[in-house]
Chains A and B, each alone.
Chain A
């Protein structure tokens, strides 16, 4: 049952990034900057954690760095009215350039940088309960950031569906003139949504490097993009993205497991999430297409 246990650990960064992306998606923005924001969080958190010796400060400063870059992204997209897709690309490019340049300046290396002194992410371990089949794997023995992801998911569901703020977030994406008619500024909700995505992506990124106690250039390796697809496959609901990110985590966990006894080249393992994502996307769009066709036919009759 290690496969399930690992799946939960692997899905956690997707889940966190997708929660933030859900907010921007609901305000009607395609946020492709998730990847870059995660990378900033990944770099900053391990550097600060190792410099301060404090796990909390590392994660917090990692998240703050990611939120700051998210603010830059929001400023250019909303205030300077740049095409959000292009400014998202720019954010990803900035993140990959900036992290390497800073790593080279600070540590003199453009390769893998180890931080042996960085604090370890503590595991929430309950030995008695971990032995319960499946449930034990799902809920116990993970690092604390995995639980942060779940807390964020519940919070997100409450905020989106049960608060005026969430209602306005959804209204902004649905029909921004409704928000304007209330005397509110839809752009300010878009800004807040981008900042939320900076927060969750920063946390998602910090999980990657703090787990390894090392920074690897472009450590995010497409996870931000997968998070974006998770949002689509999850039908833009919190429960949906939970299920979709578990499916991804499970698929990757199985392919890691298969590598143990089959000789699969490492590049294929890395390509696997992209392939399964694109197949899932095409399948999803086909289902959507035929469903809407059926509805149209029913209406005609």
Chain B
């Protein structure tokens, strides 16, 4: 892990030297930018929240050998449904209506992922591909809904109208967008950890991931654990999307959750699928994004260099042989 992260940092520096005309300035803003004021720091922490939920969702799925590749669509659809429910109930009590709206988002995510799990159980349909394809279609349909029927004609943004005041979560680090959903994300990580490591069902689920044959021999209903982890995974993604609406944006914008689903996979892998490890991993990913954004605003590189660095982390994070390969090189030279 140390090698992976140091390669990532090194690569960031190399890329900046190649791409920027003022590398010193760019490097400063890339690495220190997220900390120069309350606004940037708060937004860095805030942007880690959906990554924690997505990372938890992936960790649940991967540690039970279910593959959820549809996080992107589940977060996005969860967010849209939450916004739609808030907009449909403009005068309800904030607490009740807010919970109903986020719950609707959670259910949306759970159903979308659950479909793939169900067909895997029933007909052995490839989970990886079906979850990806459903998500890819859902992203486009949500795009249509946001820019079409649910678009706010009064605003020039491609977005739904803003949700009512009473649904907006408390901001705790003004002027940034950081809000109390950060507490929910930590609670969720602890809850997922407790479920996976300290309950009977969680134990059975992990056994199915480690060795399905052994689990079947031990009398575990393996089929259940194809659907359940997918539902949980989708629910966590939907929750992340719903809270992004009520906590951060107050509306659903076109493609505003873009990349959360993919980065959630990297976050879970860096954390080695451990629910508590997801939190620091999500912070690291949010830091890379925040640094790239600060460098784009204050210097001359584009935001997508973060994607290149993240892709290299992806490359190295599961490379089991990297240690032996480095050692082999040392021996040779």
Residues on A facing B (Cβ under 8 Å): 30, 32, 72, 76, 79-83, 85-87, 89-91, 93-94, 96-98, 100-101, 104-105, 110, 222, 225, 228-229, 232, 265, 267-268, 270-271, 274-275, 277-278, 281-282, 285-286, 288-289
Contact = CB atoms under 8 A, between A and B. Distances in A.
A297 to B, nearest CB: 17
Describe B's contact surface by its main secondary structure. helix
Interface string B280-307: 0000000000000000000001101111
B66 to A, nearest CB: 13
A86 B318 contact: yes
A30 B127 CA distance: 13
A101 B304 contact: yes
Describe A's contact surface by its main secondary structure. helix
A190 B325 CA distance: 19
B133 A274 contact: yes
A38 to B, nearest CB: 15
B136 A274 contact: yes
Contacts of A104: 302, 304
B105 to A, nearest CB: 20
B123 A286 contact: yes
For B119, B305, B306, B318, the residue with the greatest tally of chain A CB atoms inside 10 Å of its CB is B318
B148 interface: yes
A274 B302 CA distance: 31
Interface stretch (B46-54, B137-145, B161-169, B192-200): B137-145
Given A90-B311, A104-B304, A271-B141, A229 B319 contact: no
A275 B73 CA distance: 13
Contact of B308 (A87, A101, A285): A101
B180 interface: no
A282 B125 contact: yes
B155 to A, nearest CB: 20
28 contacts: A30-B128, A79-B325, A80-B322, A80-B325, A81-B320, A82-B316, A82-B318, A86-B265, A89-B314, A90-B311, A93-B307, A93-B310, A94-B315, A97-B307, A104-B302, A110-B302, A110-B304, A265-B148, A267-B143, A271-B136, A271-B140, A274-B134, A275-B133, A275-B137, A278-B137, A281-B129, A281-B130, A282-B119
B170 interface: no
